[in-house]
A and B are shown apart, each in its own frame.
Chain A
Amino acid sequence: MINAAGREIPASIEGYKEVVPYAGAFATQPPAGARKAGPKLKAVYPGANKLLNSIDEAIEACGLKDGMTISFHHHFRNGDHVMNMVIAAIARKGIKGLTLAPSSFLDTNDELIPYFQQGVLVAAETSGLRNKLGHFLTTNKIGKPTIIRTHGGRVRAIEAGELKIDVAFIGAPTCDTYGNINGVHGSAACGSLGYAMVDSRMADTVVAITDNLVDHPICPVSIPQYQVDYIVKVDCIGDPKGISTGALRVTTNPRDLHIAKLAAKVIEHAGYFKEGFGMQLGAGAASVATGKYLRDIMLRDKIVANFAIGGIVGPFCDLLDEGLIRTLFDVQSFDARTIQSLRDNPRHQEYDCTFYANPWNKGPMVNKLDYVVLGATEVDVNFNVNVMTDSNGIMMGALGGHPDASAGAKCTIICAPLLRGRLPMVTDAVQTVSTPGETVDVIVTDRGIAVNPKREDLLANLQGKGLPLMTIEQLRDMAYELGGKPAPLKMSDEIVAVVEYRDGTVLDVIRRPLL
């Protein structure tokens, strides 16, 4: 059947729950009367000891068995040692058939490929896949298709009982002897623990793995003791160099800067640039650089943002310190500057992923956005965005909060170069729809800007402002003229991944390419 994003979706997918096709950004509601899922009731009485001697002991203590689902957070990014370390220990114990459901994968998780090959892991549910693991899971059939969810969609799935986490292994930069955790102290400090907070609250069993075990209690507390079953001290949970680079620098790439300058002008004129506005800028080069140009406009017009959200980068903390943003909500801290700001500035708040982006709660922060500026691997004439698969159809990206923020914001701005190398980035149809075009308002490229025709209001506001406005078809034609129209990829019928929209419907499927 064809879903509301125009994608051919099979009526059923082997190894996947009942297929509900995507019906529109806000069309699919929680079932009437449905209640939130929750972890098992447990009690820990005075005098109990949560400290265990090793990861092996913890695996035994939490009763991990074949077929269970385990989770991890990705706050340590490419510095993470926890996921690979724990899965190696699980494999040594001979446990098999596990579903691995981290908040995302990064390059460092390429080490997990053998465990998929050996059957220790048989399914993956994640926000993103990269590098060799992404290639492996696109080109090989494991037990079940990989489920790709947005950050908000993952929390929704957990709370709706669709993703049931048996054991969450939480890398804890600082943990006290009774299980209170924060991410702002310790050698593996990563700042916000926004994704881990959800897993700690919702998993049946929570194991904290730390290299900075301190006396009870700590301050501040991000994950409280009453959610944590066991604590294991290890030598090292993460490499600070891979977790964060000092302060993320605004790009010097002239093309990204050019796109950013145009995006800032779109923000200035689109109609929501007013005292007290709210924004999110993605972590891509052009999105971050948009903040640099927006700063000049905010200073000139004396306009202050009430809040900024999302993953947070250093340049945003500078805006907070300058008084150009009143408060930051931080689900993921991208550099050391941000970690320091979260630790030291009370107006820089840590918040969890349901607060950020869950479509099925009583109002995530994305709902209050005026603007979001995000990147794209490619976009198409229906304003659909792909951030998930490359030009060979291989998974190499992450949905992250992209579809969540796009759905929430009054004006969603997507930045992308018109060509990458010689490949057109505005096409007839994207390879994979990761964010539906109905939630995307403006495409900013280095050679022109297209406004979604359903947003006549934005178009009217942006006309006569010296912006290179054109139709999306004109952008596509220009891209094809310069780069040529690529031949369509040859795909098998075999579905290797399901791209869920944030409401749990099937937005698209990823088929194994015939390479």
Chain B
Amino acid sequence: MIKERLRRSVMYAAGNNPGLLQNAGIYGADSVIFDVEDSVAVTEKDSARELVYHALKHLQFPCEIGVRINHISTPWGYDDLEYLLPAKPDYIRLPKGESGDEIRDIDKMITKVEEKCGFEPGSIKIMVSIETPKGLRNAYEIATASPRMIAIAIGGEDFAASLKTEKTKGNSITGGRELFVARSMLVFAAREAGIQAIDSVFSDLRDEETLINEVTMVKELGFDGKSCVNPRQIDIIHRVFTPSSQEIDYAHRVLTVYQEALANKSGVIALDGKMIDMPMVIRAERVLANARAAGIYHKEGN
């Protein structure tokens, strides 16, 4: 069965802040991104790179750690890769992805470093943020440009700006309409490519209610998770992505009959008189993985 890594929350930590890097792992985020791009001023780029390198090299984290590099078209992008890849981040996050060529370029560099450093081939992954209409048009190509691709994400503020509008907030009816199509198209591309879709950050830390609405909406659209910049948002995001007890119960039964069918080598699988097909099994696995991560489902096996 496909075991997909859970990425409900993807938290950024500014790469030039040692306190943030040191504690980034304690808040329970599924994935953390050390950022040497937007949150780091031009004058700090080199020191952030060194801090992130040493954090990766010498600290242990309980979760997956990615690094957001500067785009490879900037003066820092390739240097970021060259300096940081030997510290073996779990993945590279590329901002403003627009073409498959960029991804293939990065893939080549990663391959070289993996060989040179003796890392397992293919162990360093890639996540790409889509921030422009061009990137969105090429989203499927980007998502399939390398077997290292694990997720595509939408950079909401940048995308809205490139549409010459602004990112709004509000409930699922009145807010976020400017990104509605883009978000859905991103999910289509991710699903077609068989990788994950991650939503952008919600920046008003005090407005928990709108955050809940926004996470609820993107979960409905099919997103696997949401980015955030502050640990205070992690619990809220996880709560929305946590399945209900009915969902868990149903998923558990789906997997139970599926495994029974496998054991009995039976071809047709049914539950409550309904056919169970592969997508339902995969969905059930995702529901239980979410439930397990939320600490409300403890059965092993399934």
The answer on a CB contact under 8 Å between B22 and A258 is no
B268 within 8 A of A: no
Q: Report B-chain residues with C-beta under 8 Å of the C-beta of A482.
A: 22, 59
B interface residue count range (under 10 / 10 to 19 / 20 to 34 / 35 or more): 10 to 19
Report B126 CB to chain A, min CB distance, Å.
28
A252, B233: Cα distance in complex, Å: 12
Closest to A464 in B: B298
If A466-B295, A482-B59 touch, does A257 touch B232 (CB 8 Å cutoff)? yes
Q: Which residues of A contact B232 (CB under 8 A)?
A: 252, 254, 257
B interface secondary structure, majority: helix
Roughly how many angstroms separate A255 CA and B295 CA in the complex, as a whole number? 21
Contact B26 A446 (CB under 8 A): yes
- B231 at the A/B interface (Cβ < 8 Å)? yes
Residues of chain A within 8 A (CB-CB) of B19 are 421
Is the pair A258, B26 in contact by a Cβ cutoff of 8 Å? Answer: yes
Q: Is the beta-carbon distance between A446 and B22 smaller than 8 angstroms?
A: no
Does B59 lie within 8 Å of A254, measured CB to CB? no
- Decide: A255 near B23, CB < 8 A? Known: A466-B295, A482-B59: yes
B26 touches A255 (CB 8 A): yes
B245 at the interface (CB under 8 A from A): no
> A252-B232, A254-B231, A258-B231 in contact; A447/B59 too (CB < 8 A)?
no
B27 CB-CB contact with A under 8 Å? yes
Nearest-CB distance from A299 to chain B (Å)?
16
Within the assembled complex, what's the spacing in Å between the Cα atoms of A258 and B231?
9
Provide the residues of chain B in CB contact with A447, threshold 8 Å. Answer: 26
Decide: A258 and B295 in contact? CB cutoff 8 A.
no
What residues on A are CB-neighbors of B59 within 8 Å?
482
* Cβ < 8 Å to A, chain B residues 5-42: 19, 22-23, 26-27
Is residue A419 within 8 Å, beta carbon to beta carbon, of the partner chain? yes
- Residue among A252, A254, A446, A447 with the highest chain B CB neighbour number at 10 A: A254
Provide the A57-95 mask, 1 if CB < 8 A to any CB of B, else 0: 000000000000000000000000000000000000000
Instruction: Say if the beta carbon of B203 comes within 8 Å of chain A.
Output: no
How far does the alpha carbon of A421 sit from the alpha carbon of B23 in the complex, in Å? 11
> A residues within 8 A CB of B27?
254, 258
Which residue of B has the minimal Cβ distance to A446? B26
- Give chain A nearest CB distance to B284 CB in angstroms: 23
- When each residue 414-447 of chain A gets 1 if its CB lies under 8 Å from chain B and 0 otherwise, what string results? 0000010100000000000000000000000011
Rounded to whole angstroms, the CA-CA distance of A419 and B19 in the bound complex is 10
Bound-state Cα–Cα, A482 to B19, Å? 12
Q: In the complex the two chains form, what is the Cα distance from A466 to B26 in whole Å? A: 14
A289 to B25, CA, bound (A): 21
- Measured CA separation A31–B164 after assembly (Å): 82
Query: Do the beta carbons of B26 and A419 come within 8 Å of each other?
Result: no
By a beta-carbon cutoff of 8 Å, the part of chain B in contact with chain A is 19, 22-23, 26-27, 59, 205, 230-232, 235, 295
Could you pull out 22 A-B pairs where Cβ atoms are within 8 angstroms? Answer: A252-B205, A252-B232, A254-B27, A254-B230, A254-B231, A254-B232, A255-B23, A255-B26, A257-B231, A257-B232, A258-B26, A258-B27, A258-B231, A261-B235, A419-B22, A421-B19, A446-B23, A446-B26, A447-B26, A466-B295, A482-B22, A482-B59
Instruction: List the interface of chain A (C-beta within 8 A of B).
Output: 252, 254-255, 257-258, 261, 419, 421, 446-447, 466, 482
Instruction: List 15 extra interface pairs beyond A258-B231, A421-B19, A482-B22, CB under 8 A.
Output: A252-B205, A252-B232, A254-B27, A254-B230, A254-B231, A254-B232, A255-B26, A257-B231, A257-B232, A258-B26, A258-B27, A261-B235, A419-B22, A446-B23, A466-B295
